[in-house]
Amino acid sequence: MNKRLRQIHRTYVIIVILFFFILFYPFYYFAASKPKWYGLLNKLRRLNSMCCSFFTGIFFRLTYEDPLKKDQTYIYCANHSSNLDIMVFCLLAKGRFHFMGKEELLKNPVLKLFFNTIDIPVNRNHRISAYRAFKRAGHNLKEGRSLIIFPEGGIEGETYPPQLLPFKNGPFRLAIDQGVSVVPVTICDVWKKMWDDGNKYGSSPGICDIYIHKPISTVDLGIDDTDMLRGKVYDLINSKLVTQ
């Protein structure tokens, strides 16, 4: 697809996303008003993502190395290169879940409702903000709510194709501290359909491959194993990345 068509498709994608968000908004607002309805909120997010995927023609092929258990709490760790990555996790995450993302998302017209309620905003450059965010995430994990996090800390740089950036320690320390299994997820080629927000390269319909690695148990690990766990997850995710 040439650049002109990709830009047209990107505009169409934005219209579709905004249309369904407005359509779902009254239900989102209701479900986000109380934590006991967060399960419903996630089901709505999943349905919304399915609608957006269908009408934009961007589909996700999920390959599981090992089946995930719906009733088990996980920390999902993935590479991050597109705004579509959130849609990916609304479709693949099992059971109850929430996201942790950069504080700037509180200003996003679509995502701020979620980051003011079910999801957790964090300023990674502010120690107190990061501490409070991970403390809250630990509380949510104890209540059985899986955490979805991009350990690169965001989408940075102008490298195209995108390169995997170094991981932060936070999610791996949290996983060990809580005894929660880590699920590495490789978002293989979503960037080919829409890199970052699509502003520069546009977007295009097609099938994106997502590889969900086998969960890594942290039950027998200590805090001193944080670097080892971080490196293992990084290597697994990087091993499946499509960069050509």
d(CA 203, CA 13): 8
Is a pLDDT exceeding 90 seen at residue 10?
yes
How far apart are the C-alpha atoms of 96 and 43, rounded to whole Å? 9
Mean pLDDT across 216-228: 95
Q: Name the pLDDT band for 104 (thresholds 50, 70, 90).
A: confident
Q: CATH no. for residue 132?
A: 3.40.1130
**Residue 72 placed within a domain:** yes
Average pLDDT score over residue span 224-242: 93
Domain membership of residue 203 (yes or no) is: yes
Residue 184 lies in a domain: yes
Q: Which of 207, 193, 206, 216 is nearest to 75 (CA)?
A: 216
Mean pLDDT of 191-217: 90
The answer to whether residue 92 is domain-embedded is yes
The confidence score (pLDDT) of residue 157 equals 56
Q: Considering its fold, how many domains does the chain have in total?
A: 1
Please state, for a pLDDT cut of 70, what percent of the chain lies above it: 96
In a domain, 136, yes or no: yes
Residue-wise over 116-135: b if at least 16 C-beta within 10 A, else e?
Answer: ebbbbbbeeeeeeeeeebbe
The answer to the question of residue 244 being in a domain is: no
Q: Tens digit of pLDDT for each residue in 137-159?
A: 999 999 999 999 999 876 665 66
Q: Is the Cβ–Cβ distance between 241 and 78 less than 8 Å?
A: no
Q: Does residue 37 form part of some domain?
A: yes
For the residues 162-170, what does the mean pLDDT come to?
Answer: 88
Q: What's the CA gap between 121 and 143, in Å, rounded?
A: 19
Domain that holds residue 223: 3-239
| Residue 110 reports pLDDT greater than 90 | no
Residue 60: phi, psi to the nearest 5? Answer: -125, 125
pTM: 0.92
Instruction: Decide: 9 and 203 in contact? Cβ < 8 Å.
Output: yes
pLDDT attached to residue 208: 95
Q: What is the pLDDT of residue 23?
A: 97
For the chain, the average pLDDT equals 91
162: pLDDT confidence band, cut at 50, 70 and 90? confident
Q: Residue 218 pLDDT > 60, yes or no?
A: yes
Enumerate residues 6+ apart whose C-beta is below 8 A from 191: 81, 82, 160, 161, 162
Q: Is residue 141 part of a domain?
A: yes
Q: How confident is the model at residue 47 (pLDDT cuts 50, 70, 90)?
A: very high
pLDDT number for residue 196: 79
